[in-house]
Structures are given as C-alpha cells and as structure tokens.
C-alpha cells in the first residue's frame, strides 16, 4: 500500500453482506490500485457473520471491521459507518467491485476540490452506466478527464450514488442520515434538490462483479420475482417519479 498523502485525507467505507468471496476479491483489487493510502478501511458487515474477519485475514491495510449484531439494511449500515468517520473525504464502495487501475483517488479529489456541485466521482465504464447519460460530453478540469451526469434526465437519479467513488463527508452529514430518506434513489433525489450531480472519470477504474449475487435488503420490499410483483413495483416507482418530476416529495 502507498504511503499516506496529506493532500488527500480520506477513509474507505466498504458495505458487505455475507458475500465474502466477492469481498475478498474486491478488497485485494482495491488495495493493489490505491494511489493514496487511506487513514482507515472500515468494513461494515451486515450479515451478522463474524466470519468476515477470517475472510479478510492477511490483507495489507489499516482495516477495521464492524459486524452488525442484527441486519440493519444498506442505508442504516452506511449511516452507522459514516458516523465513525472524521476525514474530510470518504471513498465509498461495496463488496462486489473489481478495481483495475490506479490514480483514481488523486484524480477524484482534484475534481471535488474544483467543483462544489459534484457530489461524488464515479469510476465505472460508460457502458455500465444508465443509457440515459452515456452520451454526456467529456470535459477536463484540473487536468482530469471526466464527464458530468445530467440530473434533469431522470427525476431521481444522477445526483448521488453508492457505487464506488470519492465524496465529501460534509455533504453526507448535511443531507443524512440516509436511512430516514429511503433507498439510494431517495438519497439521490435529496442531493438533486440541493443542486448536486455526479461526475464520472473518463478513464474507468472499476467494474461490477456481483450482478448474479443480489442480496435482499431487510428494510425494503424483497426483489420482485413474479410478473405481478414486477408490475406492482413498476407502477409504484413510476407514480413516485412522476410526482417528483413535477415537484412532489
């Protein structure tokens, strides 16, 4: 792992829920490609399985592991982890991402310092992003090639995400706690209301490896599996988004 850099003071938060093989693979790739050493790598394990300690055995880094005694769900776990932080920046990630290049911490910090309206700096390839924003034009700020997402293209998305990326702790604390807001789309909507948007590095640094390993959140309705469930879920989401598009909560 590289030496700590005073120019980027950050901590890593990793949300995990029982997929220890993916967690290990993800963290090995992250450690191998971090260009700046974090103060701490905080893993919050929501499965209640203390076996996470063994899964991380031998990894090089300033690790701290918190095992929830009962399942809290994604947002409450994030709130719990963020309450433990003190560095100005948070690199947030999950247990199912593979990191493939270095340099992204310093690049992301440069963008966050230059643009107060960027809520986070994403690292995914364009091809993995929502088709609505794959055509965003590339620009260069502080020597960093990136593209900013357009929040007007969706009533909820594109203003914040818990995909891997650097972000400011102060913004999270100003808008959080997240659990009271709802799901990830509701958090993004709250950031949108404050004028934020996501930026994404033009040269991607990670890709998703957990598509076929979904874990249900105990605080949310389980993933729709039947046609009837999918239709009902779609109608609820469309109604909520329609209200938000026209200024509703």
How confident is residue 93, by pLDDT bands cut at 50, 70 and 90?
Answer: very high
33 and 131 both lie in a single domain? yes
Retrieve residue 8's tokens.
Answer: 């980027």
How confident is residue 249, by pLDDT bands cut at 50, 70 and 90?
Answer: low
Quote the pLDDT of residue 218.
67
133 and 242 both lie in a single domain? no
How do residues 115-162 score in pLDDT, each as one tens digit? 999 999 999 999 999 999 999 999 999 999 999 999 999 989 999 999
Please state the domain count of the chain.
Answer: 2
Quote the pLDDT of residue 212.
72
Quote the pLDDT of residue 210.
79
Q: State the CATH number of the domain containing residue 122.
A: 3.90.550.10
Closest by Cα among 23, 65, 61, 19 to 42: 65
**Rounded to the nearest 10 degrees, what angle do helices 184-193 and 74-82 cross at?**
60
Mean pLDDT throughout 51-56? 95
Residue 4 lies in a domain: no
Mean pLDDT throughout 74-95? 98
What share of the chain has pLDDT > 70, as a percent? Answer: 84
Mean pLDDT throughout 33-48? 97
53 and 96 both lie in a single domain? yes
Q: How far apart are CA 192 and CA 211, in angstroms?
A: 27
How confident is residue 101, by pLDDT bands cut at 50, 70 and 90?
Answer: very high
Whether residue 239 has pLDDT greater than 60? no
Residue 5 lies in a domain: no
Contact at 8 Å (CB) between 107 and 114? no
How confident is residue 4, by pLDDT bands cut at 50, 70 and 90?
Answer: very low
Run of H or E residues at 120? strand 118-122
Run of H or E residues at 165? strand 165-168
Q: How far apart are CA 129 and CA 136, in angstroms?
A: 11
- Mention every residue, 6+ apart, whose C-beta is less than 8 A from residue 116: none
35 and 118 both lie in a single domain? yes
120 and 194 both lie in a single domain? yes
Whether residue 245 has pLDDT greater than 90? no
Retrieve residue 157's tokens.
Answer: 């998305």
Secondary structure letter of residue 4 according to DSSP: B
The residue with greater pLDDT, 136 or 217, is 136
Domain that holds residue 229: 223-249
Q: How far apart are CA 27 and CA 95, in angstroms?
A: 8
Contact at 8 Å (CB) between 37 and 5? yes
Retrieve residue 16's tokens.
Answer: 């995990």
| C-alpha distances out from residue 69 to 47, 52, 93, 121, Å | 8, 13, 21, 32
Across 160-164, 197-201, 214-218, least confident range? 214-218
């Amino acid at each position: 792992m590289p030496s700590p850099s005073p120019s980027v003071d950050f901590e890593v938060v990793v949300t995990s829920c029982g997929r220890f093989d993916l967690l290990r693979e993800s963290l090995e790739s992250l450690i191998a490609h971090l260009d700046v050493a974090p103060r701490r790598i905080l893993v919050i394990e929501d499965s209640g399985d203390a076996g996470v300690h063994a899964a991380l055995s031998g990894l090089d880094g300033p690790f701290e592991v918190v095992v929830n005694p009962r399942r809290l769900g994604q947002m409450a776990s994030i709130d719990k982890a963020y309450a433990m932080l003190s560095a100005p920046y948070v690199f947030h990630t999950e247990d199912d991402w593979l990191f493939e290049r270095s340099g992204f911490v310093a690049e992301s910090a440069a963008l966050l310092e230059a643009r107060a309206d960027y809520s986070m700096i994403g690292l995914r390839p364009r091809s993995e992003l929502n088709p609505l924003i794959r055509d965003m034009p590339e620009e260069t700020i502080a020597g960093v090639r990136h593209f900013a997402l357009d929040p007007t293209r969706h009533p909820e998305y594109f203003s914040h995400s818990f995909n891997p990326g650097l972000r400011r702790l102060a913004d999270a604390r100003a808008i959080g706690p997240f659990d009271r807001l709802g799901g990830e789309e509701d958090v993004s909507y709250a950031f949108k209301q404050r004028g934020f948007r996501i930026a994404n590095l033009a040269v991607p640094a990670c890709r998703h490896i957990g598509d076929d390993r979904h874990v249900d959140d105990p605080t949310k309705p389980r993933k729709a599996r039947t046609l009837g469930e999918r239709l009902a879920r779609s109608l609820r989401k469309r109604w909520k988004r329609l209200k938000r598009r026209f200024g509703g909560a």
